[in-house]
Amino acid sequence: MNDMTKPPRSRAAKWTRRGFIGAGVLTGGALVIGVGMRPGNPVAKLGPVVAGGKGEQLINSWLKIDADNVVTAIVPHCEMGQGAHSALAQMLADELEADWSLVRVMQAPADGNYLVPDTIRAFVAPGTLDAPDWLEPTWNGLFTRIARLADGMITGGSSSVRSTGQHTMRIAGAAARQMLIGAAAQEWGVPAAEITAANSMLSHKASGRSAPFAKFAAAAAEQDMPQTPVLKQPKDYRLMGTDAPRLDIPAKVNGTASFGIDAKVPGETMSYAAVRRVPVPGTRVAKMDASQAKGMPGVLQILNMGDFIAVVADSYWQAQQALNAITAEYTKAESPVRSGADQFARFAAVLDKAGESGGKAVVTRGDAKAALAGAAKRISAEYQAPYLAHAPLEPMNATVRVKDGRCEIWTSTQVPLMARSAAAKALGLSADDVTVHHPLLGGGFGRRLEVDYVVMAARIGQATGFPVKMIWSREEDLQKGLFRCADLSRIAGGLDAQGRLVAYSSVFTQRHDPADACDCAFYDIPNKSIRHAESDLHLPFAAFRSVDHSQQAFFIESFIDEAAHAAARDPLEFRLAMLGQSPRHKAVLEKAAAMAGWGKPLAAGHGRGLALVESFGTIVAEVVEVDMTKGKPRLTNVWCAADPGFAMNPDGFRNQMEGGIVFGLTAALYGEISLKDGAVEQSNFHDYQMVRMDECPAIAVEIINGDHQKLGGAGEPGLPPIAPALANAVFAATGKRIRALPLAKQFV
């Protein structure tokens, strides 16, 4: 494997639903939900793994109750600061009627038993999530098989709440409540309909009896799992829709939270590895001189792995210092790209060849070519987005022990089963002989959807034969990782005599996920042609927060703004006129505009810009106010209105909008990975700048609960509108159009 070429994905995934949760007992170690703990039942094997504590009783695969009446939600998604653990537990607890103060969360083990096919369905076939119950066995069987093949235990795509939460955790909670009531009814000899559940207690009003859930946990586990338990309606929610306190915050505040980088191999003396990957993709280590490093303190082993060099020592600092003393030469790169200009020249050549009709058609509506030719006014623009690094606070790391034909791994990952399979393949082992522990993540942003660093650590562990913790330096993380793709887009539009946008044509070079990110489908444009003209990337790609929306939103909403000004229309009114068929989008845009006081006079040198984007099921409009009086953009305010269908935890949702905005501001203002001689130039935060606290604008977020049956995500949708809204605000203040990011580079 070349250093900067990521290993093949261990497959890809998303999955289940009501019928599967109720009746889908799947042998062979896949998802087994809500089946009583009886001999021969697959759930029986889960008890010792997830409910081995004294007095703990597994009610179904997703929750257990202990003797102290504590309910533990077993969550299959990772926690990387987005609040998924708490939100999923909140959804389960509400349907269960649990006391939130008695609710805990457990990370589901990465052993293949906790696949969630709804996550796959949310991505590849979202329409099947609300299929009739009679179709569920077919869909569940199909997506369960896909999930198993795909190592489908994935956290990404803002999918946790809208897939696993809505179609797994809620159903597991509701079914468990019904099972507990059934057990109590049997013991008390009363009709189940007369028993109520509230605050982790069961009560029978007529007889005055009441008891905690724990009293009936064992008997409940013997009940048959209801196939289609009745779920609550919003008017009955008790926890969902409230700012229930997050369960992970106390440990993060008091320092007891454990992340991948904190891992230690129990009972073993640790060693540490520092690594240096090849600087240019596609090259290998030709030779190295480690003579100076060999005699340095603490050095245990020096490895030339072909695609990277590793030094193993008694401490990470010793390993890194020795690594710095090693000189190396590399094979010649095959890629002709030596600079960013080279990369964009290749993009431009591909778009030139595609012209006005070439490339692969993605969206075709009406006849855009004819409409452009007959338009009263035609406009066009070219937009450019650079490579970006993810730069999570916790650098890439993995701790491994390879011994006696088995491998144990501790690592921060969004895809633990993919990590398991990739490590097994690299070491020549069966996946059953690899165990992955996945604690809290210190940020992911898509970077930890890849498993290259886990494979590196496994190879080092195999080569050394003793436990080792591999840590990437910040420089390694920025220069030798996987990147948000650079992209080039050309868009043309045609306006009729009344200033309406009647034709829209775009062509671009990069298309990853989601498939519809390149389309502004909610705008009523009668003639549309959207095409993809594929071009190779010099740097290896990894999904970035909001993936293709991170660049496509900038392209699309910048152009819509240009079209509004070409039509001599207010940008807000121009957009609203195209939202007649999209009432939820219209409401969100109007809300953001009202929050910002759109149309009110601003001080000289200030400007407002807006953008509207739907991504991952959530509609977001953002308005930016920028101060250009000192010749450079300084953001003063960001107003954000968002419709996620229903915000399960409004405070957590607002936090994610704010986080996405700040993350997106960093990318829009400063983010750029540049190349010199084919290698990444940036090395640390001094030359890969972040938005600092003194640059952060005031951010206001308002939530619209537009459709409780169609939930959207939270982690990613806050990011896409911020770059175009900022660029549009700069235009409003200065008359200067920004068509290439990063924006601050245009005002040096």
Is 267 domain-assigned?
A: yes
* Burial environment of residue 550 by CB neighbours within 10 A (0 to 12, 13 to 18, 19 or more): buried
- Identify whether 408 is part of a domain: yes
User: Binning pLDDT at 50, 70 and 90, where does residue 135 land?
Assistant: low
Residues 52 and 77 in one domain: yes
Residue at which a domain ends, from 437, 471, 505? 471
Over the stretch 362-388, which tens digit does the pLDDT of each residue have?
A: 999 999 999 999 999 999 999 999 999
Would you give the distance in Å from CA 12 to the centre of its chain? 14
Question: What are the φ/ψ torsions at residue 589 (nearest 5 degrees)?
Answer: -65, -45
Within-domain flag for 337: no
Q: How many Å apart are CA 693 and CA 697, to the nearest integer? A: 9
**Encoded amino acid at 643, one letter:** D
Check whether 132 has a pLDDT greater than 80.
no
- Which strand (E) or helix (H) includes residue 645? none
Tell whether 718 and 573 lie within a shared domain: yes
What pLDDT was estimated at residue 433?
A: 98
Domain end position, chosen among 471, 491, 508: 471
> What average pLDDT does range 710-735 have in this prediction?
97
Task: Based on the fold, state whether residues 629 and 721 are members of the same structural domain.
Answer: yes
Structural domain contains residue 730: yes
Whole-angstrom distance, CA of residue 350 vs CA of residue 737: 24
With cut-offs at 50, 70 and 90, classify the pLDDT of residue 115. confident
One domain, residues 499 and 599: yes
- 249 part of a folded domain: no
Give yes or no: residues 222 and 347 share one domain. no
The H-or-E segment that residue 357 falls in is none
Question: In angstroms, what CA-CA distances link 619 with 448, 645, 705, 719, 740?
Answer: 26, 9, 11, 12, 25
Global confidence as pTM: 0.93
Same domain, 24 and 161: yes
413: domain CATH number? 3.30.365.10
**Is residue 371 one of the residues assigned to a domain?**
yes
> What tens digit of pLDDT does each residue of 546-588 get?
999 999 999 999 999 999 999 999 999 999 999 999 999 999 9
Q: Tell whether 490 and 628 lie within a shared domain.
A: yes
pLDDT score at 11: 35
The answer to whether the beta carbons of residues 366 and 527 sit under 8 Å apart is yes
Confidence of residue 23 (pLDDT cuts 50, 70, 90): very low
Assess whether 45 and 142 both reside in one domain. yes
- Tracing tokens 């009263």 back to the chain, one arrives at 376
Same-domain pairing of 312 and 347 = no
Residue 422 within a domain: yes
Q: What is the pLDDT of residues 384-425, one digit of tens each?
A: 999 999 999 999 999 999 999 999 999 999 999 999 999 999
Q: What does the longest C-alpha to C-alpha distance in the chain come to?
A: 85
Tell me, yes or no, whether 424 and 549 share the same domain. no
Which residues make Cβ contacts (< 8 Å) with residue 236, sequence separation at least 6? none
Task: Report pLDDT for 37.
Answer: 29
201-204: strand order across its sheet: 195-198, 201-204, 209-212
The Cβ of residue 125 has, within 10 Å, a number of other Cβ atoms equal to 15
557 and 631 both lie in a single domain: yes
Q: How far from chain centre, in Å, is Cα 412?
A: 14
CB atoms within 10 A of CB 378: 15
CA dihedral angle for residue 508, residue 512, residue 515, residue 516, rounded to 10 degrees: -50
Same domain, 266 and 229: no
User: Does residue 248 sit within a domain?
Assistant: no
Q: How many domains in the chain?
A: 3
Assigned token pair, 398: 């993995």
Point out the domain boundary residue: 438, 471, 504: 471
| Tokens linked to 73 | 């939600």
Which range is least confidently modeled, 19-23, 129-133, 446-450, 593-597? 19-23
Q: Residue 135 is part of which domain span?
A: 18-237
